[in-house]
Homo-oligomer: A and B are copies of this chain.
Amino acid sequence: MREQSSTRRVADKFRKRIADQEWAPGYRMPSRGELAQEYGVTEAVIRRAQEALIVEGLLEGRVGSGTYVAEPRERVRVVRSPERERTSGSAFEADMAALGKRATWESRSDAMVPAPADIAARLGIPEGDYCVRTTYEYLANDKPVQLSTSWEPYSITAGSLVVMPEAGPLAGEGVVRRMAEVGIKVTRAAERPEPGHADAEEANLLGIQKGALVTRIQRTYYSDDGRAVETADIVVPTALCEIVYDVSFGS
Contacts and interface: CB of A to CB of B under 8 A. Distances in A.
A83 B193 CA distance: 19
Interface residues of A, number: 32
Interface in A181-225: 185, 187-196, 213-215
Contact of A190 (B176, B185, B246): B246
Interface stretch (A2-10, A117-125, A158-166, A236-244): A236-244
A251 to B, nearest CB: 7
Secondary structure of the A contact surface, majority rule:
strand
Given A192-B242, A194-B213, A195-B214, 11 more contacts: A82-B247, A185-B251, A187-B249, A188-B247, A190-B247, A193-B215, A194-B238, A194-B243, A195-B195, A195-B238, A196-B213
18 contacts: A80-B247, A82-B249, A85-B247, A85-B249, A86-B249, A86-B251, A176-B249, A187-B250, A187-B251, A189-B247, A189-B248, A191-B245, A193-B193, A194-B215, A195-B195, A195-B214, A195-B238, A215-B215
